[in-house]
Amino acid sequence: MFTPAVSPRADKIGGVATSMTDPLVGHTVDGRYHVVRRLARGGMATVYVAIDRRLDREIALKVMHPHLAEGAQGAAFESRFRREARAAAKLTHHNLVAVHDQGLDGEISYLVMELVDGENLRSRLHRRPPLTVSEALDITIEVLEALASVHGAGLVHRDIKPENVLLTQDGRVKVADFGLARAVTELTMAATGTVLGTVAYLSPELISDGNSDARSDVYAVGATLFEMLTGRAMFVGSSPIQIAVQHLSSTPPRPSDVAAWIPAQIDELIATMTAREADARLPNAEVALRAVRELRWSLSSLVLEHPVQEPAAEEPVVTDEASLSAELFDETAESRLKAPAETTALVTAEEDADDPAPAVMTSTQSLLVKPTVAQPTTASTHQVAEAAPRQSRRRSKIVALVLVLLLLGGAGATTWYLLQGPGAYTEVPAALLNADATIATDAIEEAGLQVKSATDYSDIVAAGKVISVSPSPGERVRKDSVVTVTVSRGIEHFTVPTGLLNERRKNVIAAIEEAGFEVGEIARDYYDDVDQGIVTEVSVPEGSRQPHNTKIDITVSRGKEPVTIPNLVGMTEEQAIAKAESLGLNVEIGKPRYDNTVEKDLVSRQNPAALSEGFRTDTVTIRLSLGPELVEVPDLVGKSETDAVQLLKSLGFQVDVGYMWDGQFGLVRFQDPRPGSELPKGSTVKITVL
């Protein structure tokens, strides 16, 4: 157990004692985690670089601020924190910062996480060069991949913001702080009725009543993407409450309102992610991920490589964690929102109209806008009293005029209200996206608007459902305005070309791409009867209708399979045939021949020669041995030496000549072997000359 000692110079920052030298640095937490240095400090915790002595590795040690575990809610926080840490530790995804351990060492409640070498998205947004649209979308895709795994496990992050999106040195994206936000938020709401979080990215439902689900994370991702593209937060203000009110009562701006070069497709995507009504939003990260990928695929390279807007330093953006509590409304607080007498004042649903001091905004209250009524002054009351006698004497003469003026004024006011004033406007109904086209049309017409129908293909919206609405759902428009409803025709299908089989590879690829498809895997295989480079198989039927995003796999012939000709000499006929056929070779039997070196009935010759290169289905000709060729030895006795030698050589024999009495007569006296014997051709016959 470690209890840090605070020096006399310690200050109180955020409710946590700190000193000029952090007391945790250099100490070991829970006997295992040796703190090396402080890395960062936030509203809920301080993060240190530490060494895990047991596993000898660097980790990130997040130590909760002690005030979170104080008082009656301390035990509840510890319990909630442990449960959320366990839930986070069960999640395994390459885009999530891994949670390794959690524990309590005395008053220190800590979390052990993967140490990410890089920077957070907030730092990257303020560093040159600016991101490109492609990079912003790629970061969003990886964030949504992480959240898709979270939502798939039935969990919610609740605190997506640039500070919790980490960018590694090798270009990967990691989402941090899963589970922590939920534990702290539920503690804070239980204790004070306030909502704790980074207000610039909180969804309306999380601000108004503390409820959140996967759609709240989608909202935060949409707000983060908006900021990446435009260089400013979706809603800005000088205090958290100003921003919170905008989340609750304003339709999120379009990115193109800030940067005119941003195309409508991006506007529509962010509108579906940040719709004020949760039911009008994309339902979870998986659906949002498909939408972002489809958008990225549809954008031109010119747009994808366009640099995003750089952050404007002068914009008053509130990005730090803040609680939406009574302090934000306190008349004595420096951050109080000051409204002129003619404007509106912020009150809660349970606030008394006569009470000028708004109450705390709790999780069960909603922010409403209520006009402030100006009271008559003393001077104006005195003037009315003096004018009363004169008005009574002339009343009979002007009653009719007053009535006429009132009627005319009322008619004029009514006309103004209906034609130019608030009555001339209405909101495009919410929850239209992914709705049936008929239901959407009826809802728009009931709102006093005209409907213009359009159709388009969509990979993610089913046929007959609404893809997009322009103006966007929730946007205020004049009555009788035209609302364009784009209805899905489903996934666009193309026709697979015919004549692909038995065609050259390059021609097949060109035909597939010209038809609008993408070539998928190209397999290569050997074929005995198909020339090299010819397509032999296609993964979908020719002439069929297939979704446009179908990848068509093809198989291309490599021609005959090469093979090394085996050595068949010395094998029997059966052995030679079996060996050749096992390699796909054909065998032809040639004319047998005598062979003095190979036994009878064994292969003595082959063509092609052994170890030469050939191909499957090639033919190898073999010739079997008849054994050595036998020749009858002639009768040589009495023949002259010259005739005997000449005769033997003509028959293929070798001759060994011996002499008796120096061979004075020159005639053969003896021979070996005897006449009539059969010897292999090339054998030696010995003669003795007298």
Q: What is the pLDDT of residues 242-292, one digit of tens each?
A: 888 899 989 999 999 999 999 999 999 999 999 999 999 999 999 999 999
Does residue 342 fall inside a structural domain? no
Predicted pLDDT of residue 424: 64
Most confident among 342-346, 410-414, 443-447 (mean pLDDT): 443-447
Does residue 414 fall inside a structural domain? no
Q: Is the domain of 601 the same as that of 652? A: no
Report which of residues 526 and 8 the model is more confident about. Answer: 526
The dihedral over CA atoms of 202, 208, 212, 214, expressed in degrees to the nearest 10, equals: -60
Predicted pLDDT of residue 363: 30
What is the percent of the chain where pLDDT is above 90?
54
Q: Is the domain of 62 the same as that of 174? A: no
Instruction: Indicate the pLDDT class of residue 203, thresholds 50, 70 and 90.
Output: very high
491, 559, 568 from 562: Cα distances, Å? 45, 9, 18
On average, the pLDDT of the chain sits at: 80
Q: Residues 532-545: what's their mean pLDDT?
A: 96
Q: Among 291, 307, 326, which residue terminates a domain? A: 326
Q: Using CA atoms, how far apart are residues 511 and 432, in angstroms rounded to an integer? A: 40
The number of domains in the chain is: 6
638: left (phi over 0), alpha (psi -120 to 50) or beta: left
Predicted pLDDT of residue 43: 67
Q: Is residue 97 a contact partner of residue 114, using CB atoms and an 8 Å limit?
A: yes
Q: Residues 459-472: what's their mean pLDDT?
A: 92
Does 72 score more than 80 pLDDT?
A: no
Q: Using CA atoms, how far apart are residues 240 and 470, in angstroms rounded to an integer? A: 31
Q: Which of 141, 219, 128 is nearest to 173 (CA)?
A: 141
Q: Is the domain of 285 the same as that of 182? A: yes
Instruction: Indicate the pLDDT class of residue 661, thresholds 50, 70 and 90.
Output: confident
Q: Is the domain of 261 the same as that of 129? A: yes
Question: What residues are labeled active site?
Answer: 159
Does 517 score more than 90 pLDDT?
A: yes
Report which of residues 367 and 80 the model is more confident about. Answer: 80
Q: Residues 470-490: what's their mean pLDDT?
A: 90
Predicted pLDDT of residue 480: 84
Residue 642's domain spans which residues? 630-689
Which stretch of 116-120, 393-397, 547-551 has the lowest confidence by average pLDDT? 393-397
Predicted pLDDT of residue 79: 67
Q: Is the domain of 159 the same as that of 228? A: yes
Does 574 score more than 80 pLDDT?
A: yes
Does 201 score more than 80 pLDDT?
A: yes
What is the percent of the chain where pLDDT is above 70?
76
Does residue 364 fall inside a structural domain? no
CATH at 588: 3.30.10.20
Does residue 351 fall inside a structural domain? no
Q: Is the domain of 213 the same as that of 277? A: yes
CATH at 102: 3.30.200.20
Instruction: Indicate the pLDDT class of residue 312, thresholds 50, 70 and 90.
Output: low
Does residue 191 fall inside a structural domain? yes
**150-185 pLDDT tens trace:** 999 888 888 899 999 999 998 899 998 765 544 444
Does 330 score more than 90 pLDDT?
A: no
Report which of residues 674 and 69 the model is more confident about. Answer: 674
Q: Is the domain of 255 the same as that of 151? A: yes
Which stretch of 110-124, 338-352, 397-411, 657-671 has the lowest confidence by average pLDDT? 338-352
Q: Is the domain of 541 the same as that of 449? A: no
Residue-by-residue DSSP string for 660-684: SGGGSS-BEEEEES-TT-EEETT-E
Predicted pLDDT of residue 378: 39
Q: Residues 385-396: what's their mean pLDDT?
A: 46
Q: Among 295, 326, 357, which residue terminates a domain? A: 326
Does residue 318 fall inside a structural domain? yes
202: left (phi over 0), alpha (psi -120 to 50) or beta: beta
Q: Residues 525-538: what's their mean pLDDT?
A: 94
Instruction: Dump strand ranges (E) for 415-461.
Output: 425-427, 450-456
Residues 6+ apart with CB under 8 A from 440: 429, 432, 466, 469, 485
Instruction: Indicate the pLDDT class of residue 668, thresholds 50, 70 and 90.
Output: very high
Predicted pLDDT of residue 475: 87
Q: Is the domain of 318 the same as that of 178? A: yes
Predicted pLDDT of residue 39: 87
Predicted pLDDT of residue 309: 78
Indicate the residue type of 650. S
Q: Is 303 helix (H, G, I), strand (E, B) or coil?
A: helix
Q: Is the domain of 101 the same as that of 130? A: no
Strands 586-589 and 619-624: parallel
**487-508 pLDDT tens trace:** 999 999 999 999 999 999 999 9
Instruction: Indicate the pLDDT class of residue 321, thresholds 50, 70 and 90.
Output: very low
CATH at 198: 1.10.510.10
Q: Is the domain of 191 the same as that of 223? A: yes
Predicted pLDDT of residue 339: 32
Instruction: Indicate the pLDDT class of residue 75, thresholds 50, 70 and 90.
Output: low
Does 71 score more than 60 pLDDT?
A: yes
Instruction: Indicate the pLDDT class of residue 558, thresholds 50, 70 and 90.
Output: very high
Does 413 score more than 70 pLDDT?
A: no
Report which of residues 146 and 366 the model is more confident about. Answer: 146
Neighbours of 451 (CB within 10 A): 16
Report which of residues 443 and 44 the model is more confident about. Answer: 443
Q: Is the domain of 159 the same as that of 290? A: yes
Q: Is residue 86 a contact partner of residue 140, using CB atoms and an 8 Å limit?
A: no
Does residue 4 fall inside a structural domain? no
677: left (phi over 0), alpha (psi -120 to 50) or beta: beta
Predicted pLDDT of residue 422: 47
Q: Residues 610-628: what's their mean pLDDT?
A: 93
Q: Is residue 225 a contact partner of residue 270, using CB atoms and an 8 Å limit?
A: yes
Q: Among 597, 624, 651, which residue terminates a domain? A: 624
Report which of residues 421 and 89 the model is more confident about. Answer: 89
Does residue 620 fall inside a structural domain? yes
**336-385 pLDDT tens trace:** 333 333 322 222 323 333 333 332 233 323 332 333 333 333 333 344 34
Q: Residues 643-656: what's their mean pLDDT?
A: 93
CA–centroid distance for 411 within its chain: 59
